[in-house]
Structure 1
Amino acid sequence: MDKKVIVITGASSGIGAAIAKLLAEQGNQVVLGARREDRLQQLSNEINQVGESTYAVTDVSDLASTKALAQTALDEFGRIDVWINAAGLMPQSPFSEGRVKDWNTMIDVNIKGVLNGIESSLSTMREQKTGQYINIASVAAHNTHANGGVYSATKAAVWMISEALRQEEAAAKSGVRVTVVSPGAINTELVSKVTDKNVQEGMEAFYKAFAISPDRVAKVIAQSINMPADTGINEIVLRPTNQIG
């Protein structure tokens, strides 16, 4: 595998951190973006024992902040080969509770964060005539449920954005690949951030019974990155073996 410069948002924990560790172990240069500087610094120090990394404190809902992350990659490593939009939130609740702040936060992070990542790096990839986006959606993008309407809507948007981008870049023959990844129950911090306590308790029980390690997601992402440049893995859906929905 050729060494690549890989930018990862949501890199301070969960799927983002697992991706960063694995890709660095494979010889890539990783650029970490998230809001928690202490976590970023700790992860970067750990990675630098075996590979190469740098980081920038990043709020993906803010375009200027996301562009600064892209600039960090260019200043440090000179290019951007892969941009992974892994930042995401899941504060699920019934519509009747009217948790508008939660809805807006999910829209800002889950949707605008992906769009800001694309805006911050697409021109660079087109100039290089090569690149790849990996956008983390969810199985909730394909099948919604009570209490999860807004979360599902944001993740369905990620799916649609990814597919439209794939078609545009294929038509432009830009060399830019697009992969959307839809995980099921993964053992991350997402459930701990659910604001409705009744919903959270139910989800904690479900995740305790079914959730798998974020390393599983990192492995399939690495496979998509390592495919020859003439082949794109456009969509990946993965669940714990015993998860039904």
Structure 2
Amino acid sequence: MSERIDTAGRRTVLVTGASSGIGEAVARELAAAGHHVVLAARREDRLAQVAADIARSGGSASSAALDVTDADAYRRVVEAVVAEHGRLDVLVANSGVMLLSPTASLLTHEWRRMVDVNVNGVLHGIAAALPHFLRQGSGHFVTTASIGAHEVVPTAAVYCATKHAVWALMEGVRQDLPPTVRVTTVSPGVVESELAGHITDPAASAGMVEYRRNAIAPSAIGRAVAYAVGEPGDVDVNEVVVRPAAQRP
């Protein structure tokens, strides 16, 4: 895990989708680096378990129930973090779903779900955190896109569209905002997670078995985020692609 930092470099970080997978790994790495981490997701029991485990390991963590598709709830969580800690330094907008299917399957409810979580969830986070970042004169948006933001594969048309949207959105945000607000987009390749387990289309689910054969641990993404967050304020790590060495393409 990351080397601990002194109190002066300690940041308050909100991580969404932190109940498992990449979000949990990011929270653990940032806590190990000495930051206070607020874990947010819908599964409150799992959040409490992870936060308690971080605390037992000597880290600082708390949790908050959050559905990122609810803009008002997102704003309330951010305001509660600022009220308790005096500031929010980093938002890791990690929540995401990957409901792959052939376009002809017309699983339009799953298309809408991916847009709601993967795109609108990030927009809600920006809207909730940005006023605080601007008021305090600093802040850092970190988003989890995907290798799917850079390439499209069969059954992933809508998923890749949402992840490309996140990539484009954050590049636009970076250009719009003052340099005191940093922006990092992390694009993971195949990572061990629960994402593929939510696919309902049989053909897409079967195709994922071989595609995900060379998955890497989510801690690899956690280390990438910890690196970007730990850089000095005048260094903006805009984009990181992290994938298995064996992933070709």
Q: TM-score, with normalisation over the residues of structure 1?
A: 0.96
Q: Find the partner of 1:107 among 112, 115, 137.
A: 115
Q: Once superposed, what is the RMSD of the aligned Cα atoms?
A: 0.9
CA distance in 2, matches of 1:66, 1:244: 38
User: What whole-Å deviation, never above 9, does each CA across 1:121-150 have from its counterpart, x for those lacking one?
Assistant: 001011111110001000101111111000
Give the Å deviation of 1:24: 0.7
Q: Find the partner of 2:201 among 190, 196, 210.
A: 196
Match of 1:61 in 2: 69
Q: Specify the SS of the correspondent of 2:26.
A: helix
CA distance in 2, matches of 1:237, 1:51: 27
| Structure 1: runs of 5 or more not aligned | none
Match of 2:186 in 1: 181
Q: Find the partner of 1:84 among 66, 71, 92.
A: 92
Give the Å deviation of 1:206: 2.1
Residue identity in the other structure for 1:147: T
Residue identity in the other structure for 2:140: Q
* Cα contact 1:33–1:57 (8 A) shared by 2: yes
Residue identity in the other structure for 2:132: T
CA distance in 2, matches of 1:195, 1:202: 12
* Cα contact 1:55–1:72 (8 A) shared by 2: no
| Superposition map of 1:1-245 within 5 A | 1=5, 2-49=9-56, 50-169=58-177, 172-173=178-179, 175-207=180-212, 209-245=213-249
User: Runs of at least 4 residues of structure 1 off by over 6 A?
Assistant: none
* Cα contact 1:56–1:72 (8 A) shared by 2: no
Q: Specify the SS of the correspondent of 2:141.
A: strand
Give the Å deviation of 1:242: 1.1
Residue identity in the other structure for 1:240: P
CA distance in 2, matches of 1:3, 1:180: 21
* Cα contact 1:91–1:102 (8 A) shared by 2: yes
CA distance in 1, matches of 2:243, 2:82: 35
CA distance in 2, matches of 1:128, 1:185: 37
CA distance in 2, matches of 1:121, 1:204: 37
Give the Å deviation of 1:223: 0.5
CA distance in 2, matches of 1:66, 1:88: 15
Give the Å deviation of 1:48: 1.7
Between Structure 1 and Structure 2, how many residues are aligned?
A: 241
Give the Å deviation of 1:41: 1.0
Q: TM-score, with normalisation over the residues of structure 2?
A: 0.95
User: What whole-Å deviation, never above 9, does each CA across 1:172-222 have from its counterpart, x for those lacking one?
Assistant: 34x000001111000000010111122112202321x21000000000111
CA distance in 1, matches of 2:210, 2:140: 36
* Cα contact 1:183–1:238 (8 A) shared by 2: yes
Residue identity in the other structure for 1:39: R
